[in-house]
Structure 1
Amino acid sequence: MSDRRFRFGVVGSPRTGAEWTTTVRRAADLGYATVLMPDGLQLPSPFPSLAMAAAVADIRVGTFVAAAPLRTPRAAAWEAHTLTVLTDGRFEFGIGTGRPDAEQQTADIGLPWGSAKERRDQVRRTLDTLQELDGDLRTPIMLAAGGPRALALAAARADIVSLAKDAMTPRAEVAQLVQELRKLAGARADDIELAMNLFAAGTRELPPWTKRATGVDPEVLEASDSLMLLRGTPEEMADELQRRRDEFGTSYITVNSTYLEDLAPVVELLHGK
């Protein structure tokens, strides 16, 4: 389905500057294309974190993803445009309507959460403002898509679409999601890069916080054909990723920084392919 070459990203959640710079430099050394930061008040702010990352290594950086309700559209667009300028175009702006836990965080900083429609409209206003600020520049946009309305927004505005389904979503449902996205995108369907995020890779035992992160018991997740997992030897994992690219068109693979080293042999195997 896709003739795009693979690229790989690392999603970090640093607690200290030393930890973050170590992750960023190691990711760059191992051939990862991007380092990404989630958005939430429990973590360092993503925008200065990514500016720091871009300064310590020659690697692309991105938000994964910024929660629109945590900033006004003008403030979020300003932050994103600034990173595009200061990184010489190495920034990718991932933005979404916010995970459920972002509602309390939005209240904590004194901004309204809003309805689902209001939050989607806020994403649109942010992207419109960013486009105005960019002028002749072009900040790539990543949107997550799971439900029909998010899918329509992603089809219209995204350069990169992260397929956002829960851990137990069957492959057939993901394939149907991709078909719907391509239909909605029309003439620009081939211009959209499809991304898939991995919770775990390699052969290590799943951590005890698996259920909190995925909503599924580790034993159940391990016994399933979950697309959140990539298990086996480097060769087996590389074969599976090529199968997924053939089946879904996913060529941009991101992984939790806990598994940065585990996926590294696969990054080497699939480099340039």
Structure 2
Amino acid sequence: MTTKPFRFGVVAAAQGGAAQWRETARRAEDLGYSILLSPDNLHLPTPTAALAVAAAVTDTLRVGSFVLASPLRTPRAAAWEAHSLSVVTDRRFELGIGTGIPAMREAAAELGLPYGTGAERLAQVADTITHLRTLDGAEHTPVLLAAGGPRARRLGGERADIVTLADKPLTSRADFAAHAAEIRAAAGDREVELAMNVFVVGDEAPPWIRSFIGADAATLREHDSLAILPGDPAAAADELERRRAEYGVSYVSVNGAFLTEFAPIVARLSGQ
């Protein structure tokens, strides 16, 4: 298993006005995060617009969608947005894409687009990557694929640069290890960066996170969940090193609610 250096991202939405969003981007860069990630939600500013602003007010911070839901755009339109953002950010953009959570059915209907079957939505992801590679030409916009099922893990291994394991919060470590192995097997000789998202750092989960993932911090700890990390920086760093050794995960994103709390771990492990 190839061991890649650690890098860290923070997932945040452009809420609270333009000034607050610019400050979030600058703060993420100052704290040593590699990338600022923005979700795809019709009730929030579109991630491509928000990320263009974030890149404009920072110098080295990368930006990425986390993740574009394939039913909300045609593959060619999604590729156009991604390539355009890659160009205007001087190649600091990473396209995160996936088939979307179930709530995207209503969002697609609002846009007048079909939601499609799981296979059709995954085919849209593959088509988006194909269109993006054509638009990029000699350049290469990194693609992160959110993989929650076996077909997505296979596609991620075969086509993506980064695969984030979108397992359920209470997925066992044994199952997570098996899923990571599926991606590596599909990748063959290709180098694929493995990633995961952490929802909670420390002892408490904000109410909206509890609602979104369907579990509180105590439940996550009881199930030895990979969706939570201890608040103590040394213990969290040890746990992330364990995850890299056991699963190959070197790219870790954290919810924006823990931007400051997670910063000591970023400082301790980035590039290591």
TM-score by length of 2: 0.96
User: Which among 140, 146, 166 is matched to residue 144 of structure 1?
Assistant: 146
| Superposed CA offset, 1:181-204 (max 9, x none) | 11121111xx10000100011x34
**Aligned-pair distance for 1:219?**
3.1
Q: How many percent of aligned residue pairs carry the same amino acid?
A: 53
Give the secondary-structure state (helix, strand or coil) at the position aligned to 1:108.
helix
Structure 2 residues not aligned, in runs of 5+:
none
Aligned to 1:112: 114
**Aligned-pair distance for 1:143?**
0.3
Q: Is the 8 A contact 1:23 1:257 kept in 2?
A: no
Give the secondary-structure state (helix, strand or coil) at the position aligned to 1:187.
coil
**Aligned-pair distance for 1:208?**
2.3
Give the secondary-structure state (helix, strand or coil) at the position aligned to 1:35.
strand
Amino acid at match of 1:54: A
| Superposed CA offset, 1:115-174 (max 9, x none) | 111111111111111111111110101001221111111111110000111111111111
Aligned to 1:66: 68
**Aligned-pair distance for 1:218?**
4.1
Superposition map of 1:1-150 within 5 A? 1-15=1-15, 16-58=17-59, 59-150=61-152
Q: Is the 8 A contact 2:231 2:261 kept in 1?
A: no
- Taking the aligned partners of 1:127 and 1:210, their CA distance within structure 2 comes to 30
Give the secondary-structure state (helix, strand or coil) at the position aligned to 2:5.
coil
- Taking the aligned partners of 1:222 and 1:148, their CA distance within structure 2 comes to 26
Q: Is the 8 A contact 1:146 1:177 kept in 2?
A: no
Amino acid at match of 1:178: A
CA 1:46–1:157 in 2, change beyond 3 Å: closer, same or farther?
same
Give the secondary-structure state (helix, strand or coil) at the position aligned to 2:189.
helix
Give the secondary-structure state (helix, strand or coil) at the position aligned to 1:265.
helix
TM-score by length of 1: 0.96
Superposition map of 1:148-163 within 5 A? 148-163=150-165
Give the secondary-structure state (helix, strand or coil) at the position aligned to 1:195.
strand
Q: Is the 8 A contact 1:2 1:251 kept in 2?
A: no
Aligned to 1:239: 238
Give the secondary-structure state (helix, strand or coil) at the position aligned to 2:243.
helix
Aligned to 1:250: 249
Amino acid at match of 1:212: S
Task: Name segments (4+ residues, structure 1) moved above 6 Å.
Answer: none
- Taking the aligned partners of 1:192 and 1:155, their CA distance within structure 2 comes to 7
- Taking the aligned partners of 1:199 and 1:154, their CA distance within structure 2 comes to 22
Aligned to 2:194: 194
Q: Is the 8 A contact 1:13 1:43 kept in 2?
A: yes
**Aligned-pair distance for 1:272?**
2.2
- Taking the aligned partners of 1:9 and 1:115, their CA distance within structure 2 comes to 31
Amino acid at match of 1:241: L
Q: Is the 8 A contact 1:210 1:218 kept in 2?
A: no
Aligned to 2:270: 271
Give the secondary-structure state (helix, strand or coil) at the position aligned to 1:32.
coil
- Taking the aligned partners of 2:19 and 2:227, their CA distance within structure 1 comes to 28
Structure 1 residues not aligned, in runs of 5+:
none
Residues 15-24 or 58-67, more deviating: 15-24
- Taking the aligned partners of 1:167 and 1:256, their CA distance within structure 2 comes to 14
